[in-house]
């Protein structure tokens, strides 16, 4: 049996504690590889990042039982509940270097936007962990695979954007509720977008979706003029009128030190809209011509002035009106 590296945030662990498999279907003889440590009441940023690093290291080795699971831990991939060790655990070839991470000690949540390689196919990847008393209680994973979702505008480019790591001075940090309100206002603006803004954008705002910059990107002009415009201007024109509903909205992680809010939602497209009028009077055509939904994670960098400065989004197509898996 391999030895698990001791971490500062590991708490009250029993060596080779059998993992309860009632909610996962995993055979009861599987054992969690853990070592006894004293109980801790909370998990700070360093502790949460240790938990994330441990999870990713286990994933690299395709060995789910390196992870310090909580009893009755839940895992999902692309909004489908899976057994521990299923899905990406079996297909991963390597994790690419891209690593945009954030942490929320208040809620015990830690997340990463990254890229995963499966037999030469590199896909955008998001993982959200809930850590309780040093154990991983819940994992949500999103993988936007080209093989299963081939509609892409351009090949993804995974580059660190330094503004995500910039700290907000303590005296300038906005309250958690205000940060959530700004992010939720973005989702309100996106839903049935008719040119009205329900949030504010910094003049330098850009958005990256599944590894492709979809604002201020002249290289994508042939795919639509909107892709050459900034965040606010796209919404003021009402380009996203075809986004019928953003539901099951959640804001599981708020990184106050950096002004980050991680949102998750399901976006419905009815596919009924064909042509529609923009706010300047011109017409546009919808490229969503059949019912489907997106399962998405969206990360917002919000500056001290309460404006959205940068957006990182990842989403994958799922069946139309698919419920969020916790609600089934």
CB contact at 8 A, 56 and 139:
no
Rounded average pLDDT over 138-167: 88
Distant-in-sequence contacts of 275-278, Cβ < 8 A, 24+ apart: 276/238, 276/241, 276/242, 277/238, 278/195, 278/237, 278/238, 278/239
Give 152's pLDDT tier (boundaries 50, 70, 90): low
Task: Say how far apart CA 324 and CA 249 lie, in whole Å.
Answer: 10
Handedness of CA 307, 97, 104, 70 (dihedral sign): positive
Q: What is the pLDDT of residues 250-308, one digit of tens each?
A: 999 999 999 999 999 999 999 999 999 999 999 999 989 999 999 999 999 999 999 99
Q: What is the pLDDT of residues 190-233, one digit of tens each?
A: 999 999 999 999 999 999 999 999 999 999 999 889 999 999 99
Q: What does the DSSP 8-state code read for residue 49?
A: H
Segments in 214-261 forming alpha helices (H): 231-237
CB contact at 8 A, 295 and 316:
yes
Task: Say how far apart CA 215 and CA 225 lie, in whole Å.
Answer: 10
The string of DSSP codes covering 194-205 is SS--SS-EEEEE
Q: CB-based contacts of 126: which residues, under 8 Å, 6+ apart?
A: 111, 112, 113, 114, 140, 141, 142, 297, 314
Give 154's pLDDT tier (boundaries 50, 70, 90): confident
Provide the pairing of β-strand 135-143 with 283-285.
Answer: unpaired
Percent with pLDDT over 90 in the chain: 81
Residue in 279, 158, 269, 267 with CA at minimum distance from that of residue 212? 158
pLDDT at 204: 98
Handedness of CA 213, 217, 222, 226 (dihedral sign): positive
Asked if the model's pLDDT at residue 95 lies above 80, the reply is yes
CB contact at 8 A, 215 and 310:
no
pLDDT at 180: 98
Rounded average pLDDT over 1-25: 39
Domains of the chain: 1-150 (3.10.450.50), 166-327 (3.10.450.50)
Q: What is the pLDDT of residues 47-60, one digit of tens each?
A: 999 999 999 999 99
Rounded average pLDDT over 304-326: 96
Residue 83, CA distances (Å) to 33, 88, 296 in order: 18, 11, 21
Give 84's pLDDT tier (boundaries 50, 70, 90): very high
Secondary structure class of 325 (helix, strand, coil): helix
Q: What does the DSSP 8-state code read for residue 31?
A: B
Distant-in-sequence contacts of 213-222, Cβ < 8 A, 24+ apart: 213/157, 214/153, 219/154, 220/153, 220/154
Percent with pLDDT over 70 in the chain: 85
Q: What is the pLDDT of residues 113-129, one digit of tens each?
A: 999 999 999 999 999 99
Mean pLDDT estimate for the chain: 88
Asked if the model's pLDDT at residue 2 lies above 80, the reply is no
Residue 95, CA distances (Å) to 69, 92, 216, 243 in order: 21, 8, 29, 32
Locus of tokens 């962990």? 129
pLDDT at 287: 87
Residue in 53, 15, 52 with CA at minimum distance from that of residue 34? 15
Residue in 56, 58, 69, 61 with CA at minimum distance from that of residue 10? 69
């Amino acid at each position: 049996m391999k030895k698990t590296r001791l971490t500062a945030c590991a708490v009250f662990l029993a060596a080779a504690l059998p993992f309860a498999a009632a909610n996962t279907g995993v055979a009861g003889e599987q054992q969690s590889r853990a070592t006894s440590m004293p109980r801790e009441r909370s998990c700070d940023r360093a502790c949460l990042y240790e938990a994330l690093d441990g999870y990713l290291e286990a994933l690299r080795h395709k060995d789910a039982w390196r992870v310090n699971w909580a009893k009755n831990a839940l895992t999902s991939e692309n909004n489908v509940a899976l057994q521990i060790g299923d899905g990406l655990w079996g297909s991963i070839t390597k994790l690419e270097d891209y690593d945009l991470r954030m942490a929320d000690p208040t809620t015990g949540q830690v997340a990463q936007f990254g890229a995963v390689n499966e037999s030469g196919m590199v896909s955008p990847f998001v993982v959200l962990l809930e850590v309780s008393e040093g154990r991983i209680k819940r994992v949500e994973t999103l993988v936007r695979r080209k093989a299963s979702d081939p509609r892409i505008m351009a090949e993804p480019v995974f580059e660190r954007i330094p503004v995500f790591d910039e700290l907000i001075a303590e005296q300038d940090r906005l309250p958690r509720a205000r940060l959530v309100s700004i992010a939720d206002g973005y989702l309100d603006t996106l839903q049935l977008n008719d040119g009205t803004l329900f949030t504010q954008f910094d003049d330098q705002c850009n958005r990256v979706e599944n590894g492709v910059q979809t604002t201020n990107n002249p290289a994508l002009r042939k795919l639509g003029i909107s892709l050459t415009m900034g965040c606010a201007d796209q919404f003021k024109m009402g380009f996203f009128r075809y986004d019928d509903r953003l539901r099951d909205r959640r804001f599981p992680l708020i990184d106050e030190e950096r002004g980050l809010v991680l949102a998750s939602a399901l976006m419905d497209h009815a596919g009924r809209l064909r042509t529609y009028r923009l706010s300047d009077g011109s017409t546009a055509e919808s490229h969503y011509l059949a019912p489907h939904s997106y399962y998405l994670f969206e990360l917002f960098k919000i500056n001290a002035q309460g404006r959205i400065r940068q957006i990182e989004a990842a989403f994958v197509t799922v069946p139309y009106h698919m419920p969020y898996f916790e609600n089934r």
